[in-house]
Structure 1
Amino acid sequence: MSFRIDFHGSSEVGAYMSFANTYCLVGRSSSGNTLKFLLENVDMPIVETTINGISMVGSQARGNKNGLILSAATTDQELFHIRNSLPENVLVKRIDERLNALGNVVLCNDNVCIIHADVDRKTEEDIAQVLGVPVYRQNIGCEPLVGTFAALNNQGMLVHPGTSEESKKELSELLEVNVIAGTINSGSQCIGGGLVVNDWMAIAGLKTSNIEMTVVESVFELGDDVDIEAKRKSIIDHVVN
């Protein structure tokens, strides 16, 4: 299942949303159109919020089924709202990190996480503890902003087109998923800026072409031949039970 939308006129949907298999964060918008769309199409907890008073929550958060890390700039009120809106088993923590745009410097699924090479050692330990997965320092080709230049679920990874074959092979072996290079939003290399994805849904920016969406559905195994509803129900039931 895949969709193309914009967020208050922007196709950089990854900057304003953060997806996991059991919840979704979305930035607060005056129009409310994105939230309405999510409520109609996403059958899991949806948290409309700000982080540090702004709507670009996707750039400041990263999570999986086990946990959610937030920028240290997250206010106490925002933290309380987010924590109380998520499933009880999801650990939520503010991370005090110099590279505070966590959505840009961290990329994860339910099994593994990669981070910017310059992230602090204490931050690396906190990320591993909150997300409950091994953490590796790894570039996407020559790009250290792993969350900006790639997107990842438990089946596949989409990376920017400048990623070498050697780097794609290395990422595939490390993360144990299929890795394909592509673009989003009609040629943008900032994959994470224009796409959010979990194991049963992808939401791309409105500018994304049909060919780009075909690649997205292929690498993340979201095509019509996949029983998406059964996959979604299995994921949700596993976490709830």
Structure 2
Amino acid sequence: MMRRASYDGNPNIGVFAVANESFAFVAHDAVNEFVNNIEQALGVECIRVTVADSYVVGSLVAMNSNGAIVSGLAGERELEVIRSKTPVALLNDKLNAAGNNILVNDNGAIVNPEVDDASMKEIEDALGVECVRGTIADIVTVGSVCRATNKGVAVCPDATEDDIALIKDVLKVDNIVKTTLNHGCKFVAPGVLANSRGALVGDLTTPIEMGKLEEALDLYD
């Protein structure tokens, strides 16, 4: 299933939520309509939360079905909410926007090459997958330029063949399609929330972009 939505008029919905196969963490102030759209498109339960007193949950959290990496700036009450659903590790690196710096599914993770060794070990342990440093289209914030599920990856149009080979090798997916979202935005992740069952896209996304996303994430069923 695929739907269009916005977060309080903002089409960059992926900034304000993060999802895996079972649930999603959503900005605490999200309206019911936005929450309902996520639940229906992805078939998940939504939990409202802030991270570091911020609503940009999707930028500050990376997760798969095994666990979550959360910005080291998160408060203990916020972490209690997240820990109630999944194991958590804090990213105390200076690059603490976990969602922007980690591209992950249930098979592997590609991480900003500037993340330090201690943080890499934390990430690998929490997510329970092999973690590899890399860039996509020469961009170090790999989590911001792609959206990965266990079925495929939507990647920015400037990705090289070497980038695509890296994604295939680490994330163990064959479906990788270059596209923009939200009417030409090359940073894919802010424009979509997705898992293996469905996707919610920013409401500026064109039908052509939706078609490419559908192909990338293998949502034809």
Q: Fold match, TM over 0.5?
A: yes
Aligned residues: 220
Partner of 1:235: none
In the TM superposition, what is the alpha-carbon distance from 1:218 to its structure 2 partner? 0.9
Which one of the candidate residues 177, 188, 191 is aligned to 1:191?
188
Provide TM-score, normalisation by structure 2.
Answer: 0.94
What is the CA–CA distance in structure 2 between the aligned matches of 1:131 and 1:16, rounded to whole Å?
A: 21
Q: Max radius of gyration: which structure?
A: 1
Partner of 1:7: 7
What is the CA–CA distance in structure 2 between the aligned matches of 1:30 and 1:146, rounded to whole Å?
A: 26
In the TM superposition, what is the alpha-carbon distance from 1:40 to its structure 2 partner? 4.9
Which one of the candidate residues 171, 178, 200 is aligned to 1:175?
171
In the TM superposition, what is the alpha-carbon distance from 1:146 to its structure 2 partner? 0.5
Partner of 1:78: 78
User: After TM superposition, where is structure 1 displaced by more than 4 Å over at least 4 residues in a row?
Assistant: 39-42
Within-5 A mapping of 1:1-150: 1-29=1-29, 31-84=31-84, 86=85, 90-150=86-146
In the TM superposition, what is the alpha-carbon distance from 1:74 to its structure 2 partner? 0.9
What is the CA–CA distance in structure 2 between the aligned matches of 1:195 and 1:39, rounded to whole Å?
A: 14
In the TM superposition, what is the alpha-carbon distance from 1:21 to its structure 2 partner? 0.8
Which one of the candidate residues 149, 159, 181 is aligned to 1:153?
149
* Structure 1 portions without partners, runs of 5+: 227-241
Cα pair distance change 1:172/1:80, threshold 3 Å: same
Partner of 1:230: none
What is the CA–CA distance in structure 2 between the aligned matches of 1:59 and 1:96, rounded to whole Å?
A: 15
2:43 touches 2:197 (CA, 8 Å); kept in 1? no
Secondary structure at 1:14's aligned position in 2?
Answer: helix
What is the CA–CA distance in structure 1 between the aligned matches of 2:156 and 2:38, rounded to whole Å?
A: 27
What is the CA–CA distance in structure 1 between the aligned matches of 2:129 and 2:211, rounded to whole Å?
A: 30
Secondary structure at 1:135's aligned position in 2?
Answer: strand
Provide TM-score, normalisation by structure 1.
Answer: 0.86
Secondary structure at 1:107's aligned position in 2?
Answer: strand
What is the CA–CA distance in structure 1 between the aligned matches of 2:31 and 2:163, rounded to whole Å?
A: 41
